[in-house]
A and B are shown apart, each in its own frame.
Chain A
Amino acid sequence: MNAQVNAPATAPVTHVAIQSVAKRFGTVPVLSDITTSFAPGSFTSLLGPSGSGKTTLLRIVAGFVTPDEGRVTIGARDVTDVPVWGRNIGMMFQSYALFPHMSVARNVAFGLERRGIRGAEAARAVGQALEMVRLTGFGDRMPKQLSGGQQQRVALARALVIKPSVLLLDEPLSALDRRLRQEMQVELLRIQRETGLTTIFVTHDQEEALTLSDRIAILDKGRIVQAGRPADIYERPETRFAAEFLGDSNFLSGTVSQGAVRLGDGTVVQTAHPLPAEGSPVTLAIRPEKMAVTESAANLLTARIVTVIYAGPVLSYLLETRDGTKLKLFLANRDGTVLPEGETISLGWSPDHAIPVAD
């Protein structure tokens, strides 16, 4: 492909590693003992609620925040004590952060000038970067003459043109409207694949994380609670938090009894996954789309439909069991049938889909 040939960022793929990093703001611990690594050419999402420390972790990689403990390496280089301007990073910000007093071309050329690249060589690189983000011919515009999506593309071109060792994205799409955001996700993914840049992406949007990443690290209260391939985390969440934050989940609490889980009302739920010791309390997570309306399944539960949400392709039912446990059920909208509110139904699911999670 043409764009492939012209790809401005052909820097060797770089490995990024974080070793036992900790950070406190005052007395408040923001990150505790984070050790993780980002494989060369991988796209990793740091996913977590606000205050989870995901942005701080990204800013530690960027160099805006110095960790209290631990080391950061980019490639073979320990950059823990290297200031931001010496790290060769490409960064995108939520607010675009274009230089408002410079034309698009000068914005993109800014990083090249800092590297002593000027004149024809710089102009060529700027042209290629703008082509890559499909903004050829926009070089003379001022940022305020561009739409939000276009500004974000300029920011991406500006970050790519310097052939960074690592691409750091701080919720870059959250200021865009939904349609534009999806469009930019596709672009971002295409460009990341073309350039092969190791990419770290901060987001609180689980859908975005699932769509874009080949690895997700879920953060909560300054710790990585689970990291892995999106499908692995989705199918096998290890904690209640991970199950809840990535996707939706139903939770049933009970105690381990003879290789199964006995709920409060006496119902026994089978699981195909290893359980803790006999008699200990346990929580099972079951994805709402993995339940079905059936009377013949290994696990059955009756519940009353409280609310029906018609979302087009999917029907969401909010249910309540007799003992007051709230459940969600997602059914594909196959033939337009909508079960009425108030009806009591029998839910069934396979032991494979009941995942024991830590609280």
Chain B
Amino acid sequence: MALRGPVGPRRLPDWMATTALLLPAYAWLTLAVFLPLLTMFVFSFLNKTPMGQAPVEFTLRHYRAFIDQPYLLGVAWNTLMMGVWTTLICAVLGFLAALALVRCSFGRSREMLLVLILLPFWTNGLVRVFSWTMVLRENGFLDSLWHLVGDGSVGFLYSRPAIILGLVHGYLPYMILTCYIALVTIDDAVIEAAQSLGARWWTVLGSILIPLALPGLISGAVLTFVPVIGSFMEPRILGGPVGMTLGTVIEDQFTQAFNWPLGASLSFTLLAVVLAIFATFSGVLRRGTAGAS
């Protein structure tokens, strides 16, 4: 018989240990995510918010909202475009920032720069967004800078670019971090090999760095796009009258119109759209994440 290590309680079977370790997390997810979601899903089929004494009926009416109220299609389109632009700008800026971090900074200074990138995460979202109104409003900070050289106002508060600016500010860190993680694993010698074979910087970027960082870009895009098309704080505060998105419409149903079933059905429609988009691109996504390891 082989020698045994220190004598202790007998080992649990693997399946039992695994279950024991997973159980708290899954129990919590079930309680905190799945049940409320299920409740909302049930609500979305009711004719009115099930509070008070009035009897409720089952209906599919709310899922016809896009047909009954065609203006919602325009809102949905704007929302998607907002998501696309924000993701695109985040991807470009985030990739370049991550590249700079990986290629041009070392040790201490890199740590400092990473902390600075995380700073938006540590500030309250509302404060972050309101601070932009101070910058962008007429005679705000941006204007006072502009007034050093010119007249009039360049502030663009209450416009779509303002919304996107606020969203990019909020979600850029996700993109930087996911790209950073992807780029930092690329061996310097791979880049040098490409250069030695005659590749100039744009070939290195297009044929080596971007393809190898694709998993990071894709996860960053998912982490940005999904919350952005559901966002309501930035559109409402920075967009003002033009800031109507699916997010604000849904929020209105819950807080202003008190039409929870409509809000819930719109939410689930949005979820379905997101899933449909990912299903469409899943081939690309899978190839992107499998291509480099």
Contacts and interface: CB of A to CB of B under 8 A. Distances in A.
Interface of A: 62, 64, 83-91, 93-101, 110-111, 114-115, 144, 155, 158-159, 162, 168
Given A84-B196, A90-B196, A158-B197, A97 B203 contact: no
A143 B199 CA distance: 20
Contacts of B69: none
Contacts of B111: none
Contacts of B212: 100-101
A93 B98 CA distance: 25
- Give the one of B190, B193, B207, B211 with max A CB within 10 A: B193
A110 B291 CA distance: 17
Given A85-B200, A101-B291, 17 more contacts: A85-B196, A85-B199, A89-B196, A90-B196, A93-B189, A94-B189, A97-B190, A97-B193, A98-B190, A99-B190, A101-B212, A110-B207, A114-B198, A158-B193, A162-B197, A162-B198, A168-B196
Contact of A84 (B187, B190, B192, B292): B192
Contacts of B291: 101
B170 to A, nearest CB: 31
5 contacts: A84-B196, A85-B198, A88-B198, A101-B291, A162-B197
A100 B292 contact: yes
Given A110-B194, A144-B293, A97 B189 contact: yes
B196 A62 contact: yes
B54 to A, nearest CB: 61
A159 B198 CA distance: 11
Interface of B: 187, 189-190, 192-200, 203, 207-208, 211-212, 291-293
A110 B197 contact: yes
Contacts, number: 69
Contacts of A83: 195
Contacts of B198: 85-86, 88, 111, 114-115, 162
Nearest to B185: A100
Contacts of A85: 195-200
Contact of B196 (A91, A95, A98, A144): A91
Interface of chain B, helix or strand or loop or mixed? helix
Contacts of B203: 114
Given A85-B198, A110-B199, A114-B203, A97 B292 contact: no
B197 A97 contact: no
Contacts of B192: 62, 64, 84, 91, 93, 97
A299 to B, nearest CB: 50
A87 B196 CA distance: 8
Nearest to B203: A114
A90 B193 CA distance: 9
Contacts of A88: 198
A110 B212 CA distance: 16
Nearest to A115: B198
A101 B211 contact: yes
Contacts of A62: 192, 196
A30 B194 CA distance: 26
A162 B196 CA distance: 10
Contacts of A89: 196
A97 B196 CA distance: 11
Contacts of A111: 197-198
Contacts of B187: 95, 97
Given A114-B203, A144-B293, A100 B190 contact: yes
Contacts of A158: 193, 197
A198 to B, nearest CB: 15
Q: Which of B189, B198, B199 has the most CB of A within 10 A?
A: B198
Contacts of A87: 196
Contacts of A96: 189
A87 B190 CA distance: 17
A176 to B, nearest CB: 16
Nearest to B196: A91
A94 B212 CA distance: 20
A83 B198 CA distance: 9
Given A100-B212, A101-B212, A114-B203, A93 B193 contact: yes
Nearest to B204: A85
A89 B193 CA distance: 10
B199 to A, nearest CB: 6
A156 to B, nearest CB: 12
A97 B189 CA distance: 5
Nearest to A89: B196
B28 to A, nearest CB: 37
